């Protein structure tokens, strides 16, 4: 087993990995940008190396130098940043470091949407009809689009997270969409290659968790439903999906495993599918890393995917038998973002003035927050993930709503109220989900009447002070008019 591991990430995922390393008795190294030198993840590790400016998490040389200076034996990239960078994984191998993830060849192959679609076809997976021609010009793709038919999607070959993707409903929209998608792809991935894909109306987004262990086995741990998205980014995820029967789960799982076996996959990965209203599924892409939403799978299947990643990279056996693992109950995750859902989900910045994470049975919070920290424009707006598990979906939904109601986050605009309202919709409760769910049901969402964060923080501090004073004097009655109101939240009535 490794003696020391460097975590090449920040925020909640870095803390998640650092906690796992501590439980395993492995010393840890955190890296941080200048702006993050006092961030929670930087303070949680055994050692810290400051890399430099805000974008330093992408600096291969700086990360590898930090690993060499601290004598780390392996690097866990988390997700985002360097996690799906084949060149970095290869550089780790060259430096004598274990990359806690899949082999560079699998990352490279699956990182190209064009090549991964071809690999999926060869493995016998159903693929959405489309046109993949690397280097095709706008004119050539337009000719192909006419043959394929509208509406269709223009997608970046090196894409992800909705960047470099545009829906084109008619020929007249093509030129503009091509220019925007290509520009986004070049800016985000350094590769402007685009391809075409037939548009499926209101599909579900279903993904299968796959894993390749040190013994050469590739297996799956069921599916997650990730259909509730804004701007092609997930906000609510659950395991299992109400739309997936045991027979369909077996069929999709076998397809995902077959793809993993065909590319010699090792470690954690996710095969994503679109599921049509008619029950037909199509390969979408493969993410060669740990997913943001991995916690719902962990809670339903009672496994630790991060620990499994580390054990596999070290060449050790998993602590469970894949053939004996079975799902139990239902888990739902809400992503807490620093954004304004009432105004196009615009990113928000500010200082965390008051923070209280929910603490309830069956609730897990993965967070990268602390009071006093600054939320800046430099990084992804994901702040925390709140996950609720219960024996059934209705109970898990209620438990997550209550946990979100308990989440106090003042000083930074966020989507907590939005998540609560999404979970209260009858369409959510009935499981009538698809990838246009937010646009269809929440496009007019305006949120609660806002009060200044500073005023709310001062009120909270006053209440805390009053309660402390009452305890100190032994008073059983707090004369504060706020206490007389009972369990009441300003302007929300809940």
Q: What is the Cα–Cα distance from 329 to 240, expressed in whole angstroms? A: 8
C-beta atoms surrounding 315 within 10 Å: 11
Percent over 70 (pLDDT), the chain: 90
Statement: residue 215 has pLDDT above 80: yes
User: What pLDDT score does 361 carry?
Assistant: 96
**Alpha carbon distance 19, 27 (integer Å):** 11
Query: Where does residue 447 fall: left (phi above 0), alpha (psi -120 to 50 degrees), or beta otherwise?
Result: left
- Phi, psi dihedral angles at 464 (to 5 degrees): -60, -40
Place of tokens 């579900």: 204
Q: What is the rounded distance in angstroms from the CA atom of residue 237 to the CA atom of residue 376?
A: 26
| CATH assignment at residue 409 | 3.30.470.20
Q: Among all chains, which residue has been given the structure tokens 């003042």? A: 410
In a domain, 210, yes or no: yes
Q: Find the helix or strand (DSSP H, E) in which 295 lies.
A: helix 294-301
In this structure, are 380 and 427 located in the same domain? yes
Q: From CA 37, how far away is CA 123, in angstroms rounded? A: 46
Q: Strand, coil or helix: what is 443?
A: coil
pLDDT higher than threshold 50 for residue 489 = no
318-363 pLDDT, tens digit each: 999 999 999 999 999 999 999 999 999 999 999 999 999 999 999 9
Calculate the CA 73 to chain-centre distance: 26
| Full-model pTM | 0.87
User: What pLDDT does 480 receive?
Assistant: 45
56 and 185 both lie in a single domain: no
If one counts the domains in the chain, the total is 3
C-alpha distances (whole Å) from 391 to each of 236, 238, 488 are 18, 13, 29
Backbone angles phi, psi at 87, to 5 degrees: -65, -40
Confidence (pLDDT) at 113: 86
Q: What span, in angstroms and rounded, lies between the C-alpha atoms of 293 and 49? A: 28
Q: Is the same domain home to 331 and 255?
A: yes
Q: Are strands 74-76 and 130-131 parallel, antiparallel or unpaired?
A: unpaired
Give the pLDDT confidence score for residue 469 in this predicted structure.
Answer: 53
* Statement to judge: residues 330 and 378 lie in one domain: yes
Give yes or no for a contact between 21 and 306, defined as CB atoms under 8 angstroms apart: no
Spatial distance between the Cα atoms of 217 and 325, rounded to a whole number of angstroms: 14
pLDDT score for 477: 42
Assign 181 to helix, strand or coil.
Answer: helix
Domain annotation covers residue 34 = yes
pLDDT level of residue 248 (50, 70, 90 thresholds): very high
For position 140, what pLDDT does the model report? 87
Residue 279 is classified by DSSP as S
| Cα dihedral 332, 337, 342, 344 in deg (nearest 10) | -110
pLDDT at residue 122 tops 90: yes
Whether pLDDT at 116 is above 70: yes
Identify the CATH number of the domain in which residue 74 sits.
3.40.50.20
Reading across the β-sheet that carries 330-337, which strands appear in turn?
A: 281-287, 267-275, 204-212, 218-230, 233-239, 330-337, 382-390, 363-367
Q: Name 50's bridge partners.
A: 32
C-alpha 400/C-alpha 386 separation (Å) is: 7
DSSP string, 90-120: HHHHHTT-EESSS-HHHHHHHHSHHHHHHHH
DSSP 127: B
Q: CB atoms < 10 A from the CB of 489, how many?
A: 11
Q: What's the rounded mean pLDDT across residues 90-102?
A: 98
Asked if residue 226 has pLDDT above 80, the reply is: yes
Strand partners, 98: 74
SS3 137: coil
| 210 and 172, same domain (yes or no) | no
Q: What is the pLDDT of residue 136?
A: 77
pLDDT value at residue 272: 97
Q: What are phi and psi of 369, to 5 degrees?
A: -105, 155
Of 197, 165, 158, which is closest to residue 282 (Cα–Cα)? 197
Query: How much is the pLDDT for 483?
Result: 41
Last residue of a domain, one of 100, 121, 152: 100
Assess whether pLDDT exceeds 60 at residue 158.
yes
What would the mean pLDDT of 77-86 be, rounded to a whole number? 96
Domain match, 339 and 406 both: yes
The pLDDT score that the predictor gives to residue 449 is 53
Q: Residue 189 — pLDDT band, cuts 50, 70, 90?
A: confident
Query: Is residue 33 in some structural domain?
Result: yes
Mean pLDDT of the 113-139 span: 88
**Does 476 fall in a domain?**
no
Note the pLDDT of residue 459.
Answer: 59
Angle between the N-to-C axes of helices 86-94 and 60-70, in degrees from 0 to 180, rounded to the nearest 10: 30
Instruction: Tell me which of 144, 166, 198 is where a domain ends.
Output: 198
Q: What is the CATH number of the domain that holds 151?
A: 3.30.1490.20
416-424 vs 393-406: helix crossing angle, rounded to 10: 150
Query: Residue 485 has what pLDDT?
Result: 45
Residue 106 lies in a domain: no
Q: What's the pLDDT at 275?
A: 97
Taking residues 299-306, report their average pLDDT. Answer: 98
Instruction: Report pLDDT for 321.
Output: 95
Reported confidence tier of residue 451, pLDDT bands at 50, 70, 90: low
Q: According to the model, what pLDDT value does residue 199 have? A: 87
Q: Read out DSSP for 377-434? A: SSS--EEEEEEEEESSHHHHHHHHHHHHHH-EEESS--SHHHHHHHHHSHHHHHT---
283 and 424 part of one domain: yes
DSSP 488: -
Are 87 and 10 within one domain?
yes
155 with 231, same domain? Answer: no
State residue 98's pLDDT score. 98
**What's the whole-number mean pLDDT along residues 182-188?**
88
pLDDT at residue 134 in the model: 64
Task: Determine, yes or no, domain membership for 57.
Answer: yes
Average pLDDT score over the chain: 91
Q: Are residues 158 and 230 in the same domain?
A: no
Q: Based on the domain organization, do 71 and 219 belong to the same domain?
A: no
Tell me 266's DSSP state. Answer: -
- Among residues 311, 317, 309, which one has the least CA distance to residue 291? 309
Q: Give the residue-averaged pLDDT of 465-488.
A: 48
Q: Does 193 fall in a domain? A: yes
Higher pLDDT, 468 or 238: 238
Residue 148 lies in a domain: yes
* Minimum mean pLDDT range among 91-105, 151-165, 208-222, 390-404: 151-165
Cα–Cα distance between 136 and 439 in angstroms, integer?
Answer: 32
379-396: pLDDT as tens digits: 999 999 999 999 999 999
Q: Are residues 385 and 434 located together in one domain of the fold?
A: yes
Residue that terminates a domain, selected from 178, 198, 218: 198
Which domain does 341 fall in, by range? 204-441
**Confidence band (pLDDT; 50, 70, 90) for 213?**
very high
What is the predicted pLDDT for the residue at 438? 97
């Amino acid at each position: 087993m490794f003696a020391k591991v460097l975590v090449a990430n920040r925020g909640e995922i870095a803390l998640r990995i650092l906690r796992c390393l501590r439980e395993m008795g492995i010393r840890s190294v955190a890296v941080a940008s200048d702006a993050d030198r006092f961030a929670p993840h930087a303070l949680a590790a055994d050692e810290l190396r400051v890399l430099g400016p805000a974008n330093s998490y992408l600096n291969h040389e700086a990360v590898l130098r930090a690993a060499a200076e601290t004598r780390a034996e392996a690097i866990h990239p988390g997700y985002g940043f360097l996690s799906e960078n084949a060149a970095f994984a290869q550089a780790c191998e060259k430096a004598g470091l274990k990359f806690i993830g899949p082999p560079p060849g699998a990352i490279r192959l699956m990182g190209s949407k064009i090549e991964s679609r071809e690999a999926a076809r060869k493995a016998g997976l159903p693929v959405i009809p489309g046109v993949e021609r690397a280097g095709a010009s706008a004119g050539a793709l337009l000719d192909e689009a006419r043959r394929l038919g509208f509406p269709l999607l223009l997608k970046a070959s090196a894409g992800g997270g909705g960047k470099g993707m545009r829906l084109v409903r008619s020929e007249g929209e093509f030129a503009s969409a091509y220019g925007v998608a290509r520009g986004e792809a070049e800016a985000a991935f350094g590769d402007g290659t685009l391809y075409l894909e037939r548009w499926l109306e209101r599909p579900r987004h279903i993904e299968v968790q796959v894993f390749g262990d040190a013994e050469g086995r590739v297996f799956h741990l069921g599916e997650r439903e990730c259909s509730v998205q804004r701007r092609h980014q997930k906000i609510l995820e659950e395991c299992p999906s109400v739309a997936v029967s045991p027979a369909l789960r077996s069929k999709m799982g076998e397809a995902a495993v077959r793809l993993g076996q065909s590319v010699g996959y090792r470690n954690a990965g996710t095969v994503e599918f679109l599921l049509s209203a008619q029950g037909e599924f199509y390969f979408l892409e493969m993410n060669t890393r740990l997913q943001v939403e991995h916690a719902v799978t962990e809670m339903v299947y009672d496994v630790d995917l991060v620990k499994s990643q580390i054990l596999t990279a070290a060449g050790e056996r998993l602590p469970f038998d894949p053939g004996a693992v079975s799902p139990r109950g239902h888990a739902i995750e809400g992503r807490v973002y620093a954004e304004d859902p009432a105004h196009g989900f615009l990113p928000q910045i500010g200082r965390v003035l008051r923070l209280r994470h929910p603490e309830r049975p069956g609730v897990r919070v993965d967070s990268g927050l602390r009071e006093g920290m600054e939320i800046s424009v430099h990084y992804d707006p994901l702040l925390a993930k709140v996950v609720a598990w219960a024996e059934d979906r209705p109970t898990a939904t209620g438990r997550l709503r209550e946990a979100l109601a308990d989440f106090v986050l003042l000083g930074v605009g966020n989507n907590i109220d939005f998540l609560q309202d999404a979970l209260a919709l009858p369409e959510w409760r009935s499981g009538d989900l698809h990838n246009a769910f937010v646009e269809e049901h929440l496009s007019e969402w305006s949120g609660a009447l806002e009060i200044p964060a500073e005023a709310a923080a001062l009120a909270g501090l006053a209440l805390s002070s009053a309660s402390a004073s009452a305890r100190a004097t032994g008073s059983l009655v707090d004369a504060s008019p706020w206490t007389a109101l009972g369990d009441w939240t300003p302007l929300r009535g809940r």
